[in-house]
Amino acid sequence: MINNVLSIPLEIKTEALTLSSVHCKDRLNEMEFYYPLNPITPRQLEKIFADHEGIELPAAFPDRIGTLTFPFSRGFMKGYIDMVFHEKGRYYLVDWKSNLLGTRVEDYSKDALNTVMSNDFYILQYHLYTLALYQYLRIRLPGFDYEKDFGGVFYIFIRGIDPDCGPEFGIYKDFPSPELIHALARALIPGC
């Protein structure tokens, strides 16, 4: 399984790369993030996602966010990104998923991954991760340009990876729209 994950070509924005090509010095494992949080409600998040729907977002996803139940929240957002890496001049984030969607590689098709990404709110999760990474990089790297310097998001469902079947199975990839990330920053982070 490890060899499969390391050798599968990851493709996003027409660039092919593999995790085995990423050197230790070019990655951070379990990158912790912590940022102040404006008061926020599920309805506010629903509106942000509805206003910025993109090709990669299922049409019903903003409504799903609206079904979340959490009290009016403020304070701090804290979490961990499984892996961040720098390759070919861009920064990427990776989240490992061990979900059992079935016993065949075909059970990890694009449609199956789209369903679990929406149903389990992983789409919201990776947008929050992307925002955290964006905040980190724009502070640490003067001149950081999201569209030029960020490469995208990979959610790797390790049980569905088979190099013989290619990256069409077991890998969910996206490049969150800059407009959505900036809207989330303005809504969630004081002073953005």
Catalytically active residues are 95
Secondary structure, 3-state, 46-93: HHHHHHCCCCCCCCCHHHHHHCCCCCCEEEEEEEEEEEEEEECCEEEE
Cα dist from 191 to 45, 51, 62, 79, whole Å: 18, 21, 25, 20
Give CA–CA dist 192/177, Å, rounded.
Answer: 17
Kindly calculate the radius of gyration of the chain based on its CA atoms and give it in whole angstroms: 17
